Every structure is written in C-alpha cells, then in structure tokens.
Amino acid sequence: MKKNKLAPKGSGAAKKLNIKKLNIKTKPPALKKGIRIEYAPSLESSDHIQLQKTYGHFIDGKFVEPRSGQYLATHNPATEEKLADVALGNSQDVHDAVMAARRASDKTWSRMPGSERAKYIFRIARLMQERARELAIIETLDGGKPLRESRTVDIPIAAAHFFYYAGWADKLEYAFPNRKAQPVGVAGQIVPWNFPLLMAAWKIAPALAAGNTVVLKPAETTPLTALKLAEIIQMADLPPGVVNIVTGAGATGQALVEHPEVNKIAFTGSTLVGKKIQKMLAGQGKKLTLELGGKSANIIFEDAALDQAVEGIVDSIFFNQGHVCCAGSRLLVQESVAKIVIRKLQARMDTLIVGNPMDKNTDIGAINSKMQLNKIEEYLQAGQDEGATLYQSQCAVPNKGYWVRPSFFTDVAQSHRITQEEIFGPVLTIQTFRTPEEAIEKANNTPYGLAGGVWTDKGAKIFKVTSQIKAGVIWANTYNRFDPTSPFGGYKESGMGREGGLHGLAPYLKF
Ligand code: NDP
C-alpha cells in the first residue's frame, strides 16, 4: 500500500498537521477590491436556432401579413445586429385579432368544459419545457439578458405558470365557491420588454384557465419569444382564435385598449402609459389590471447576516441588468453597518462579469435598447449633478452593444431624482437609517408601492417592519423570488390588481 504523505500520524489530525508547510490557508483570501477570477468563456451556441427573416401577426391560428405591409426590425442589443423583421400592427390588424378572439370565445373556448381547457394549457406548458433551451436562447438574443437567467428563471417560471393555471381550469367553482364565476370574454394584454415570455405567460395562462380568449401585444424590442409561443400554440392544437398575437409599437397597444369588443385590459409597463390607459378606459366598464413601475426599498438591519445580505443586494438590483419592476433599487442600510456593507458590496461588484449574455459566466448582460441606455446614462449624470457620489465597477465591457457597469450612489438625499424615479437599470441608491421607524418612513416615501426586502436575524422585526411597508410583495432575507402560486402586484403608482395565484384568476372572471 502506498503511504499517504499527507496522512497525519496518530490521532488529533488537525493539530499535528503542519498547515504552514503544506501551504494550506486556514482562511480563504480576503476579497480585495479589483481582484477578479478569470473564467474561460462558456458560450452557448445559437446555431440550431431557427428564426425567420420576417414574422407576421398570429391571428385566428395562422401567421398573417400586416394589413399595412409594414414591418419593424428587432435587434440583438449585445451586438446591435438585426435578428428579424416583425409585423407593425395597426388598428385593422388589432380589429382582425379581436374579432377572431370574439368568435373563439363565443363558439368554442368559453363553452368548453374546464377539464378540456386544462388539457390544452398543460400541453402548452409541456411544449414550452421541451423547447426550453431554444426559448432561453432567443430570449437572450432578443432582450440582452444573461442566458444563465433566461434558462433558469424566465423560461421555467413561464412554463410553471401554464402548469399552475391548467390546474385551476376545472376548479373555478372551488376557487370561488357559491359565486358562479364566468369568463369576461376577450382579454387585451400588453407586456413590456424586461421579461417578455414570462410576462406573456403571467397574462395568457390565467386568462385561458378562466375561459377567456386573448389578444397579446408584445413589446416592440422583444417580440420573438411571443412569436415562438405562437408556434407552440399551433403545435398544441389550440382552437384558432383563442390566442392571437399582434406585434407592433405603442400605437398598436393603444388600438387594443380602445377596441370596443375587448372586455378586459391587462397591462404591464410604465406608470406613465398605465395612467394614460386608465384615463382612456374611464367610464367604459372594461375590466382593468395595471402592473406598473416601482422604486422598492431593500432594508438591511445591523443584525442581518451581512454576507448573505450583500448577495441579496446584488440579486435585487443587478438581476436582469436592473430591468426589474420590483428591483430593490433603494438600499436602506443601518448606519452602524453601512461602511462594512458598502465595502463588501464594492468588493462583490468588482467580481461581477458584464458582457456577452450568451456566455454562461456572464452576470450582467446588455441593456435592452439604445433608448433605455440613454435613459440610464441620463440618471447617472443627474445623480452626480444633484450631489450624490457615484461608484461603478471597473470591469471591461464589449465595444459594440449597450452596456452599463454595476453602479451605486452614496450621499443620496430622499429628494434626489435618482431616489424618487424608476431608473430601470443596474443603478442602486444607498441611504442609511438609525431606527426601524426611520427605515419604514424612508421605504414608504415614494409614489410607488410594488415590493421590498428586509434583512434581519429577528423574526419579530421582520413582521413589525413588513407590516408597515406599503408594498405588494416583501421578501425577508431573500429577494426576487417568484412563484406562480403567489400573487404579485402593487399599491399607489405601482398599479392595481394582482397577477399570480388564485388572486390572478379573479380579474379574468365576472361573478
Ligand atoms: P411602456 O409602458 O413604455 O410599454 C409597455 C407596453 O405598452 C409595451 O408593449 C408598449 O409598446 C406598450 N405601449 C406603449 N404605449 C402604449 C399606449 N399608449 N397604449 C397601449 N400600450 C402602449 O413600458 P416599458 O416597455 O418601458 O417597460 C418598462 C416598465 O414596465 C417599467 O416601468 C417597469 O417597472 C414596468 N414593469 C412592471 C411590472 C409589474 O409587474 N409591475 C413588470 C415588468 C415591468 P412598445 O414596446 O411597442 O412601446
């Protein structure tokens, strides 16, 4: 038998080993600012992805050319290369789609037993799972988000929404006992560019389960996964007209909102457009849910597990380049630990990799569009002009494409624009507080009320603080966790109504 040179002689191994001699460090090296571990590239291939040069609308079960004959280009924000042209929808296209949805509602879908509807919805979920890799790659190419996120968050959770709501389709009478729930009819659904397929799933799955038909308008810059979903819907043999997808710009969305045959509007997007839609629909009796912007506070108490909290900060603001409505974009940290938290955060930020979203090592991908890049850069300048101090990691970024290094501001006042307005990018503001009361007051001091986070070792403090923050979702000792069974939505200027869970069915039903 070979002698193991490292094996200790006798008992009391740890004591007798000469650790210094073996060059084993008893402590991991401290993370110093600027130290980065270099990883070999781990690129996902897109060779097998089949994209058409041109996509029409998906109306009445078929892809059709736009009535105007006009198309919009969609680009990869990481390379600025064109991916495809998609139809630019006008009010006639919207009309065709809405009338297809109306016919499908009257003739098939609303009359079909819930157990039959469930089979179709399950089938969509299964097909999404089967094509998960393809969907994740297209989401990353079209939107700029790291593949690591699209394949572990966007696509699996989108499929999970279809699975979850398929389960409710034949149980509506148990979900709403003694209330005789009926579908509302045709739902017009408008989604933004930050989680294109996931937002489509949030909207379509509960609507179908509740017996409604749908016209979806994807965002201008990220229409491709919705069009792939149209292919899946064809494969699932969903009756024609049950789901229709009209691509285009803001005016296309507006035509959908205004169409008299639409019974319900579900909108996710900016507060500005949400307010416009609410005004347009005033007095019309159409049902409306609005999932709008946010400026959520992530509160770190001195008794929190600080290393975990720092990971939570990274997750809350740098996930999806900060293009997240519920991003913890305002860090409130207790004064006694502020210095150490900021130091740890700086060290962690210096290890984040910004770059090719198709590389599985990438932490922060491309900003979704040139327009959004300009908006973030404007806020970076505004923050400095107002007197805040900017810190940005110094990592390299590619020459082409749209990029923002992970950033935070200190010396921030509650009145600064960067503290009050939604930046929708990888930019954090940091403020301190001394007491839980001060943290609560600062957390609530915005026009928004979408989400928040609390980090503390004390359960009682979690309940005390979370119960006084006016926000739809608050995470404790974690951040950005999503589950189809859990309702999501805002207060104040973050919107009205809930999506997800049992609550997410109610807006698609009349009683
Ligand atoms: P916008 O409000 O600009 O756009 C959202 C969608 O509405 C897009 O499909 C857009 O089309 C369409 N649209 C634009 N103008 C009109 C109009 N007048 N009538 C009808 N539809 C219209 O938001 P962004 O795309 O910039 O998305 C980012 C915003 O979305 C952020 O504020 C974010 O907080 C919010 N959001 C909220 C979530 C929530 O659940 N609360 C989740 C995700 C995002 P087009 O793209 O062609 O302009």
In this structure, the residue with its CA closest to atom 12 of ligand 1 is 250
Find all residues with CB under 8 Å of 235, minimum gap 6, and list them: 127
Three-state secondary-structure class, residue 164: helix
* pLDDT of amino acid 8: 36
pLDDT digits (tens, 9 = 90+) for 457-485: 999 999 999 999 999 999 999 999 999 99
493 catalytic, yes or no? no
> Stretch 379-385: mean pLDDT, rounded?
98
Rounded to the nearest angstrom, the distance between the alpha carbon of 370 and the centre of ligand 1 is: 16
* pLDDT of amino acid 2: 41
pLDDT digits (tens, 9 = 90+) for 220-269: 999 999 999 999 999 999 999 999 999 999 999 999 999 999 999 999 99
* pLDDT of amino acid 33: 54
What's the burial of 475, exposed, middle or buried (CB within 10 Å: 0-12/13-18/19+)?
A: buried
CA separation for the pair 448, 226 (Å, rounded): 29
500 touches ligand 1 (CB under 6 Å): no
Q: How confident is the model at residue 357 (pLDDT cuts 50, 70, 90)?
A: very high
* pLDDT of amino acid 39: 85
> Stretch 359-365: mean pLDDT, rounded?
97
> Stretch 322-339: mean pLDDT, rounded?
98
* pLDDT of amino acid 1: 39
CA separation for the pair 301, 465 (Å, rounded): 11
Three-state secondary-structure class, residue 83: strand
Percent over 70 (pLDDT), the chain = 93
Rounded to the nearest angstrom, the distance between the alpha carbon of 21 and the centre of ligand 1 is: 61
Arithmetic mean of pLDDT over the chain: 93
Q: Active-site residue among 139, 149, 220, 291?
A: 291
CA separation for the pair 98, 100 (Å, rounded): 5
* pLDDT of amino acid 35: 59
Q: Is the pLDDT of residue 16 over 50?
A: no
3 against 354, higher pLDDT: 354
268 touches ligand 1 (CB under 6 Å): yes
CA separation for the pair 460, 114 (Å, rounded): 43
> Stretch 211-220: mean pLDDT, rounded?
98
pLDDT digits (tens, 9 = 90+) for 85-112: 999 999 999 999 999 999 999 999 999 9
pTM equals: 0.92
495 touches ligand 1 (CB under 6 Å): yes
Percent over 90 (pLDDT), the chain = 91
pLDDT digits (tens, 9 = 90+) for 405-430: 999 999 999 999 999 999 999 999 99
Instruction: Give the Cβ contact number of residue 119 at 10 Å.
Output: 15
Q: Are 296 and 328 in contact (CB under 8 A)?
A: yes
* pLDDT of amino acid 212: 98
What DSSP line would sit under 130-145, residue for residue?
Answer: HTHHHHHHHHHHHH--
Residue ranges of domains in the chain, CATH in brackets = 54-292+494-510 (3.40.605.10), 297-485 (3.40.309.10)
293 touches ligand 1 (CB under 6 Å): yes
* pLDDT of amino acid 28: 44
Q: Active-site residue among 44, 139, 220, 325?
A: 325
Measured torsion, CA atoms of residues 199, 200, 204, 206, in degrees rounded to the nearest 10: -20
Rounded to the nearest angstrom, the distance between the alpha carbon of 107 and the centre of ligand 1 is: 32
pLDDT digits (tens, 9 = 90+) for 22-62: 444 444 445 555 556 778 889 999 999 999 999 999 999 99
* pLDDT of amino acid 32: 55
> Stretch 360-387: mean pLDDT, rounded?
98
* pLDDT of amino acid 66: 98
Q: Are 277 and 257 in contact (CB under 8 A)?
A: yes
Rounded to the nearest angstrom, the distance between the alpha carbon of 461 and the centre of ligand 1 is: 35
Q: Are 91 and 99 in contact (CB under 8 A)?
A: no
Helix axes 155-168 and 196-209, enclosed angle (nearest 10): 10
In this structure, the residue with its CA closest to atom 11 of ligand 1 is 250
Q: Is the pLDDT of residue 431 over 90?
A: yes
Give Cα 362 distance to the centre of its chain: 18
Instruction: Give the Cβ contact number of residue 452 at 10 Å.
Output: 28
Rounded to the nearest angstrom, the distance between the alpha carbon of 270 and the centre of ligand 1 is: 5
